[in-house]
Amino acid sequence: MDKKNIKQLWWNGARGDELVACPVDGKIVCINEYHGTYDLDWAVVYDKDGKEIARHNLLYVASIIWVDE
């Protein structure tokens, strides 16, 4: 799952289902970080220039729609 591209993320927000969609010409990538005794999975959102603009902990995500590759 590490470095796999994501199309959309859904989670249960305060007002119901909430969506994060891939920005125009950007991408969302699943990243795994190992911290010695545990690891974390993140959905990292990049803009068209490759700059990280958001990071979401996958522990709180309800659903992932993957990019068809």
Predicted TM-score of the model (pTM): 0.80
pLDDT tens track for 9-47: 888 777 777 777 777 788 999 999 998 899 999 999 999
Spans of all domains in the chain: 5-66
* The pLDDT value given to residue 24: 78
* The pLDDT value given to residue 8: 87
Separation between Cα atoms, residue 19 and residue 32, nearest integer Å:
21
- Judge contact between 58 and 43, C-beta under 8 A: yes
* The pLDDT value given to residue 1: 66
